Structure 1
Amino acid sequence: MPVVRRFVRKALVEWACEERADDVLLCVTELATNALRHGVPPGRGFRVHIYLERIEKAIRVELHDSGDGEVRAADGPPGAEDEGGRGLLLVAALADAWGVEERSPGKIVWCEFLLP
């Protein structure tokens, strides 16, 4: 994930949009980890897109993968002994909006962060 984090941090710095950098970087790390663990078939990769929405004053991050499968946050908090299940809960808590869109093949998982 260091490459993904550096890519996103560089964009945020170049756009002078570092106010929410910690939230954005944590969420992009969680989404990239999920893409690798659950959304990328063997031999395939994923794409990261980051957009500065000047009119809406927001940062949008998208992860495009070619895998199938449903993406949804857990119904409740994971147990203390559970090794996973927190990623999308973090995204839902930190991002101002998030969702999933269809892509052929695969899907796009996105999150948005409003800027001051």
Structure 2
Amino acid sequence: MRSQEQTSPQDDAPSGLSDSCAWRREFPGEVSSVPAARAWVHGLLAVRLAPPMLDDVLLLLSEVITNAVTHSDSGRTAGGRVTVHLTHDPGAVHVEVADDGSTTSTPAVYVPDADSDGGRGLWLVDLLATAWGSSRHDDEAGRSVWFQVSG
């Protein structure tokens, strides 16, 4: 199945002429979606953000999508999906990653061991993001993890 992208009419405006832009795209619940989502967001924001801020957004996006695919039903069930909601306002980027949820895990920050191969995802989000959080979807199965980077 092909990824879907939805944009608002203001997204077609040249950079600098619109106060905010919002995009949405759905990806398969697979590890291969991590670089695909990074490339998509890079293509949207490279002309809008300074490189250090863009680097932070891409790193945190990678961590949050990896967690969604690894720790939710999106990556454990056939046809699982993750959806990226991206908003750019002057001076800030807000990213939300929605997944199919999990009955066995919830998002939590762990202080990683120096020799650990993983476990740094939300620790990095907590360290680099201006704000972040998570929520369960009341009206349907699933959850979202979001973060904001301001510059």
Q: Same fold (TM over 0.5)?
A: yes
How do 1:23-38 residues align onto structure 2 when only pairs under 5 Å count?
Answer: 23-38=56-71
Does 1:90 find its partner at 2:124? yes
Q: Does the 8 Å contact 1:67/1:107 carry over to 2? A: yes
Whole-Å separation in 2 of the counterparts to 1:78 and 1:13: 30
Q: Does the 8 Å contact 1:12/1:18 carry over to 2? A: no
Q: State the structure with bigger RCO (CA 8 A, min sep 6), 1 or 2.
A: 1
Give, in angstroms, the shift of residue 8 of structure 1. 0.8
Whole-Å separation in 1 of the counterparts to 2:112 and 2:68: 20
Identity of aligned residues (%): 35
Q: Does the 8 Å contact 1:50/1:62 carry over to 2? A: yes
- Corresponding residue SS for 2:119: coil
Match of 2:148 among 106, 112, 116: 112
User: 1:56-88: CA deviations, max 9, x gaps?
Assistant: x310001000122311111xx222332221111
Q: Which residue of structure 2 lines up, in the alignment, with residue 18 of structure 1?
A: 50
Q: Taking structure 2 as the reference length, what is the TM-score of the superposition? A: 0.67
What is the root-mean-square deviation in Å for CA atoms of aligned residues? 1.5
Match of 2:108 among 58, 65, 72: 72
- Corresponding residue SS for 1:63: strand
Answer with 1 or 2: which has the greater Rg: 2
User: 1:28-73: CA deviations, max 9, x gaps?
Assistant: 000010011001241111011110134xx31000100012231111
Match of 1:58 among 80, 87, 92: 92
Please, which runs of 5 or more residues in structure 1 have no aligned partner? none
Whole-Å separation in 1 of the counterparts to 2:93 and 2:89: 6
Whole-Å separation in 1 of the counterparts to 2:130 and 2:149: 5
How many residue pairs align between the two structures? 110
Which amino acid is the alignment partner of residue 3 of structure 1? A
Moved over 4 A (4+): none
- Corresponding residue SS for 2:46: helix
